[in-house]
A and B are shown apart, each in its own frame.
Chain A
Amino acid sequence: MTAELRNVSKVFTDPRRGKGLIALKDVSLKVEEGEFLCLVGASGCGKSTTLNLLAGFEGPSRGEVFFKGEGVKGPSPDRGVVFQESSLYPWMSVLENVMFSLQGKERKEERAMEQLNLVGLEDFAHSRPSDLSGGMKQRVAIARTLAMGPDLLLMDEPFGSLDEQTRRKLDNEVLKLWQRERKTVVFVTHNIDEALLLGTRIVLMSPSPGRIEKEWRIDEPWPRDLSDPGLVRMKEEIINMLQACPCANGAPSALIELKGV
């Protein structure tokens, strides 16, 4: 087992206004070595919070977070995050951005180019992030995170702001990377199709307070076909559970999107 949340609760308090929010309540989750785990759930159910805890950006209010058997105390290069928003440094070239996160001192440029190669952007090594499209920026972000040499790859809706076609294309790239590099991936998305196409396991979270509702194992090989009866059934089940849950903040938008599918 790679990472684990053990009875974790996360509370946000606003001392000035005297308000508190239980973002996660008693969540236990084990991330197995080599799996591709997809976290899905309505907006505000604590997906990013879960990722931040695994990354070590934030600490749990109750419970413990483990990585490779040790308590997580802070972020570290062995747990790489691909953020939802654009996170490249605009004052560095694409190559410099990748080199920034590279561990070790020798052959930096060469190794950074190798990472760019993996995401097919070696020709843009000397471009500025502002000259790239949204999808290309996220590919650079992935290359940069891979350059850290992480054992656990945490991706927070990495393609959430992209159009459907670009998203599918990048999903496939991520899948290939995962199959080749044999990393463990936790992938947050609110797009059920994306989760069904990628994951070896889907974990559904529900809000108010954030908790794990149910999980599904997918044994289908890739490439997957969404019209496969097993996947169709699973999708229906997930959507029903999503609609049944008493959703709080921000949830309606996720539901509207789902009703269309």
Chain B
Amino acid sequence: MDASTKGREEATRAALEEGKAHFVFRSERPRLLAHALGNAALGILIVVMLWWVVAEAMMFIRGVAFPTPPETLIALWEALRGADVNGESIYTHTTVSLSRWGQGYLIALVIGLTLGMAFGTLPRLHEIGMVSVYVFQMIPGLAWIPIAMLIFGLGETATVFIIAMTAIPPLVINTAGGIREVPTVFTRVARMSGKDDSATFFQVLLPAASLSIINGMRIGLANGWRVLIAAEMVVGVALGLGFSIYQSRYNLDFTAAFVCIVVICMIGLAIEKLLFVSMENRVRHRLGLDREDLI
């Protein structure tokens, strides 16, 4: 079935007249894409307007210099052109943060996936281990600071540790949960076909749980990114987006803080949308779970 050049209306009418059950028409992907982008833009606009209203209100009521959207945008533009943000260029702050985050996440992936797979396949271990995973998940980002400092002192390692610790629980929970929820009939088919445990695990359990595992990877990634500010409080060197936000408190450069917040949001959004949405769509497709994905 190749794509038709006919429009939807025209093709529908033709099909009705010719009595055909299936017909094709020109894909409306561009229109749907524009529509989705328009809605997203509207959503962002609403948030920006809210921000603006709050900023003006605070300046009026409390007389504080609350950065407005235009001010922040201008500062962001300046920063992107190379202006200093809390003593360093925004690019340095960003690369340093991304690298810490990458290291923390990599460690979390190794530990989280391994634990998740072990918990998913060994019920006894699941019962023993899950409690602590849930406890770890409940520890707020800031609470990791004393723990990290006690174990590692001030420095990069402490930062990477905090990022890893917040990324691990969702990885474990989703990997173990995904494996445990694989329908019994799937494992029964493998067993009666004479597959051993390892073949069953790699050929059946993992693929069947892949969507859930990817979900855990995505939540873990977001957790690690969001904890950046807390994690960079213990970093010791004056570098990083999170550190910069924290620093703004002391030198009262709130615009710089807002610039960093915007950068953090943009990077998080980009990774979520570009990396994970496409990854999830591919897995969905492999699992035969395609739905009417519009874009």
Contacts and interface: CB of A to CB of B under 8 A. Distances in A.
B194 A100 contact: no
A168 to B, nearest CB: 24
Interface stretch (B46-54, B97-105, B158-166, B286-294): B286-294
B188 interface: yes
A216 interface: no
B192 A80 contact: yes
A144 B185 CA distance: 14
Contact of A83 (B185, B191, B207, B289): B185
Contacts of A89: 186, 189, 204, 207-208
Nearest to B207: A91
Interface in A81-107: 81, 83, 85, 87, 89-91, 100-101, 103
Contact of B203 (A75, A77, A100): A100
A74 interface: yes
Interface string A108-146: 000000000000000000001111000000000000100
Given A91-B288, A128-B288, A148-B193, A81 B204 contact: no
A132 to B, nearest CB: 10
B44 to A, nearest CB: 36
B194 A77 contact: yes
Nearest to A147: B193
A91 B287 contact: yes
Nearest to B194: A77
A12 interface: no
Nearest to A57: B188
A100 B193 CA distance: 8
Contacts of A74: 191
Interface residues of A, number: 25
Interface in B238-295: 286-290
Contacts of A188: none
Contacts of A55: 188, 192
Nearest to B286: A91
Contact of A77 (B183, B192, B207): B192
B124 to A, nearest CB: 16
Contacts of B204: 89
B281 to A, nearest CB: 14
Contacts of B188: 55, 57, 75, 81, 83, 87
A131 B186 contact: no
A103 B194 contact: yes
Interface string B187-199: 0111111100000
A79 interface: yes
A76 interface: yes
Interface in B192-230: 192-194, 203-204, 207-208, 210
Contacts of A129: 288
Nearest to B199: A100
A128 B189 CA distance: 18
Contacts of B191: 57, 74-75
B288 A79 contact: no
A198 to B, nearest CB: 23
6 contacts: A74-B191, A75-B188, A79-B192, A87-B188, A87-B189, A90-B288
Interface of A: 55-57, 74-77, 79-81, 83, 85, 87, 89-91, 100-101, 103, 128-131, 144, 148
Given A57-B191, A75-B191, A129-B288, 12 more contacts: A75-B192, A77-B192, A81-B188, A85-B185, A87-B186, A91-B208, A91-B287, A100-B189, A100-B190, A101-B192, A101-B193, A130-B289
